[in-house]
Amino acid sequence: MFEHLVAPTGPYAEIRVVPSTGSTNADLVAAAPTTPDRTVLIAEAQSAGQGRRGRSWVSSGGGLYLSVLLRPDVPPARLPWITLLTGLALVRATARAGVTATLKWPNDLLIGDAKAAGVLAETTNDAVVVGIGLNTAPLPPGVQPGAGGLPPTSLAEAGARVTDRFAVAEVLLTELAALESEWRAAHGLPGALLAEYREHSATIGRDVRVELTGRELLGTAEDVLEDGTLVVRDREGASHTVSAGDVVHLRVR
């Protein structure tokens, strides 16, 4: 299925599928010193999937769990955009599966007000490993809400036309390669990708609580800037730029 995506005709050096592993991200991080640029690892199941801030990611069979190792020659300060453009790839792939999705800053994929996918990037020397966990099949009973109380959902539960994980992976990797190539060619500047991100943002314009280390920020999310940071205006009218933190969408009053 993935042959056309692999060199010499495709954008990826290798796409490998394994029945199960602890974490695709951990595997590629460990192998990074000898792994070529644009290597993909897909697992049919994970036993130790991780989300942001060390949270576990439910990785039961039927979901899509993959990681991509990238070596973009861009200034380090621009690397955070990798996770935002990965979120855009998820939005595009989800649309092609027949479901409209949005992004909670920086890269959680929302269908309605429920989370269907998350992205985790880890940097190791000159490489970035970006991991994607996307719920494709119906979720098993008992899956708990995520950070901020976000309920989980899946493509199947949202009525997607396409839920086969490998078919979804093919589209997702195609979109990711296109977006990442455009961004890499611009030396890490988002260009038109910023407007596309803003268009699909579920966070801009929302009242939010941003959970920061040791404190929280309450206010209204106003914009996402060229460097990928979130602008939040607090209840006193002061503007804050957030580069990292958990964003919780507050209910409309």
- pLDDT digit string, tens, across residues 162-194: 999 999 999 999 999 999 999 999 999 999 999
Do 190 and 234 fall into the same domain?
Answer: no
Q: Considering the domain boundaries, does residue 252 fall inside one?
A: no
pLDDT digits (tens, 9 = 90+) for 119-153: 999 999 889 999 999 999 998 877 777 766 789 99
Domain count, the chain: 2
Do 38 and 16 fall into the same domain?
Answer: yes
Domain hosting 172: range is 1-197
Q: Considering the domain boundaries, does residue 253 fall inside one?
A: no
Do 4 and 113 fall into the same domain?
Answer: yes
Using pLDDT thresholds of 50, 70 and 90, give the confidence band for residue 35: very high
Do 80 and 47 fall into the same domain?
Answer: yes
Q: What is the CATH number of the domain that holds 148?
A: 3.30.930.10
Give the Å distances, CA to CA, from 129 to 62, 71, 123, 201. 22, 9, 6, 24
| pTM of the model as a whole | 0.93
Within 13 Å and on the Cβ side, how many CA atoms surround 42? Answer: 20
Do 167 and 235 fall into the same domain?
Answer: no
Q: How many angstroms separate the CA atoms of 85 and 241, rounded?
A: 20
DSSP state of 141: T
Indicate the residue among 182, 197, 212 that finishes a domain.
197
Do 64 and 77 fall into the same domain?
Answer: yes
